Amino acid sequence: MSKKVWRYTTEEKLRYRIPAFAGILAEPFVHEWFTICPDGFLTINEEYSSDGCSWVPDGPRLMNVPECFKVRCNRKGDYIRQTTPGAIPHDLGYQFLDVIAAALGLDPALVRLAFDLLFAEQLKQYGFRLWKLYKFGVRTFGAAHRKVTRTWRRICGLFAKKPVED
């Protein structure tokens, strides 16, 4: 079986503000791939890998990639798309949903909602015209997709760079 090539990999830490997480923690929650600070900032560590949007197109090319958004495209001929800044933290949020919910003492449904809103906010910020449709998609189908993906990874043993947390 060939090794999975993730579409995007962070080259530097990425920071996102998630207002729903502010004021919950007394100290930062540190994980191998991310940190959540008491002020509600999520920091994604370098070398975290993501495949962008699942089951749907990733949107058009992002022409003015912000200087602070250091992400490498791992597939030949690929580029950063308008959905990429939202898809990376969204993937992380769904992948580690149970870990984050436990660390924050929140219901996983609330944590999922926070990541879905961050996803939509990022798509809107970077000019993706279909952001409302994609927001509807993740709210409607995201949980089911997460369950199928987790089950498939367990069956196939595909734990490469993104281990499934229980």
**Per-residue pLDDT tens digits for 43-53:** 999 999 988 87
C-alpha to C-alpha distance for 6 and 101, rounded to whole angstroms = 25
19 located within any domain: no
Residue 75 in any domain: the answer is yes
**Distant-in-sequence, close-in-space partners of 18: CB < 8 Å, separation ≥ 6:** 36, 40, 41, 42, 114, 115, 118
Whether 44 maps to a domain, the answer reads: no
Q: Indicate the length of the chain as a whole number.
A: 166
> Which is higher by pLDDT, 114 or 82?
114
Q: List the Cα angle 69/74/79 in 5-degree steps.
A: 55
Instruction: Look at residue 166 and tell me whether its pLDDT is greater than 50.
Output: no
131 located within any domain: yes
The tokens describing 46, both together, are: 């370098």
Residue 116 burial (C-beta neighbours within 10 Å; 0-12, 13-18, 19+): buried
3-state secondary structure (DSSP) of residue 146: helix
Report angle CA 146, 98, 166 to the nearest 5 degrees: 85
pTM of the complete model = 0.81
d(CA 99, CA 29): 10
Domain of 99, in residue numbers? 51-156
Q: Give how many domains the chain has, as a whole number.
A: 1
Residue 32 located in a structural domain:
no
Is pLDDT larger for residue 110 or for residue 143?
110
